[in-house]
Chain A
Amino acid sequence: AQSVTQLDSHVSVSEGTPVLLRCNYSSSYSPSLFWYVQHPNKGLQLLLKYTSAATLVKGINGFEAEFKKSETSFHLTKPSAHMSDAAEYFCVVGGPLYTGGFKTIFGAGTRLFVKA
């Protein structure tokens, strides 16, 4: 069974300060992990993905995430927040199905606020 927990429903940072969005997962096998961002009235955009290659994954817009198996975590970070980063972020766990399809489970989301 798979599940994903985003530990904070809201995170507020000042522009120029680091961003940390926390995600823990549970999976009975080696998972694929993703972070998506959703800006208001827009669709979801993939930030980055982990698929059992390098544990430190770099994504778009300066975001990166580190896969830590021992902690079952996949936290999203960015060294310096920008106003345009204000959005909702989703951590996603996925894995293959015996049917040949692919199952994805979304976390509840973390809304990031960036203060000027």
Chain B
Amino acid sequence: KAGVTQTPRYLIKTRGQQVTLSCSPISGHRSVSWYQQTPGQGLQFLFEYFSETQRNKGNFPGRFSGRQFSNSRSEMNVSTLELGDSALYLCASSLGTGVGHEQFFGPGTRLTVL
């Protein structure tokens, strides 16, 4: 069974631009979560989607948004990029939402903002 895939793996943007990252969950998984990982702030939760509905949102500004499609694939968008948005963005999928469901992580998208 294929794992979680994220595209692109690496991305370089400049301040003010916007970016869209994509995540394809494991087949059959309906929950997708997004995390931001930086050396200073560690791993921080962005949002979780289940069956195309946002179930949970972390403490990030409105420039960060996401969506989930009917095939469970998810995208996250960051508008008006800032230097501080440089990070590894991780996507995780699980069969469902809740304590019994293990999250499987993708390799991440490394975003660099210049």
Which residues of A come within 8 Å of B, CB atoms?
32, 36, 41-46, 49, 51, 90, 94-97, 99-109
Q: Which of B82-114 contact A (CB under 8 A)?
A: 90, 92, 97-108
Nearest first, the 7 closest Cβ-Cβ pairs linking A and B are A101-B55, A101-B56, A43-B105, A106-B43, A44-B105, A32-B99, A43-B107
Partner of A106, one of B42, B48, B104, B106: B42
A102 B98 Cβ-Cβ under 8 A: yes
Which residues of B come within 8 Å of A, CB atoms?
4, 33, 35, 42-45, 48, 50, 55-56, 90, 92, 97-108
* Interface majority SS (helix, strand, loop, mixed), chain B: strand
The 13 listed contacts between A and B (C-beta, < 8 Å) are: A32-B99, A43-B90, A44-B92, A49-B102, A94-B99, A99-B56, A100-B55, A104-B45, A105-B45, A106-B42, A106-B43, A107-B42, A108-B42
Kindly provide the distance from the CB of B38 to the nearest chain A CB, expressed in whole angstroms: 11
Contact partners of A36 in chain B: CB under 8 A: 105
* Contacts between chains A and B (CB distance < 8 A), count: 59
Contact partners of B108 in chain A: CB under 8 A: 43
Kindly provide the distance from the CB of B111 to the nearest chain A CB, expressed in whole angstroms: 15
Report the Cα distance A96→B31, complex, angstroms: 14
B44 A106 Cβ-Cβ under 8 A: yes
Partner of A46, one of B42, B103, B107: B103
Given the interface pairs A97-B55, A103-B45, the reply to whether A45 lies near B99 with Cβ below 8 Å is no
B55 A96 Cβ-Cβ under 8 A: no
Contact partners of A51 in chain B: CB under 8 A: 99-100
Given the interface pairs A43-B105, A46-B102, A51-B99, the reply to whether A109 lies near B4 with Cβ below 8 Å is no
